[in-house]
Amino acid sequence: MPIGAPAGTTPGYCSSCNAPILWARTGRNDKAKPLDRRPKGDGNMVIENERAVIFQPRIHTGMTRYMTHFATCPQGSQWSKGELRR
Ligand SMILES: [Zn+2]
């Protein structure tokens, strides 16, 4: 497994802006969700039990946080419209 990819995630690149991302499964429907590959101190997601979950301060203290790529992608509006695929 490449350095920097937590268990349960797959490194890749955004098909829109080419930024390095991690594909992380979510607990809800097993759909892969893109996260910025570089951890972020104020990120809104953490990897817990190999799943991407919303960061909750009281539960995930001290865990590495990631920002969902939807929030940082320059083409984010296209993501939300569902026009981009992995
Ligand atoms: Zn992007």
Percent of the chain with pLDDT over 70: 83
CA of 25 to the centre of ligand 1 (A): 18
| Domain ranges, ordered by start, for the chain | 9-80
pLDDT at 68 over 80: yes
Please state the separation of Cα 78 from the chain's center in Å. Answer: 17
Q: Alpha-carbon distance 32 to 55, whole Å?
A: 17
Question: What is the Å distance from ligand 1's center to 78 Cα?
Answer: 10
Q: How far is the CA of 16 from the centre of ligand 1 (A)?
A: 5
| CB within 8 Å of 44: residues ≥ 6 apart | 54, 55, 65, 67, 68, 71
CA torsion sign for 75, 82, 18, 35 is positive
Whether 30 shows a pLDDT value over 50: the answer reads yes
Q: How far is the CA of 15 from the centre of ligand 1 (A)?
A: 7
* Residue 18 Cα to ligand 1 middle (Å): 6
**pTM, two decimal places:** 0.81
- Structure tokens given for 38: 């570089």
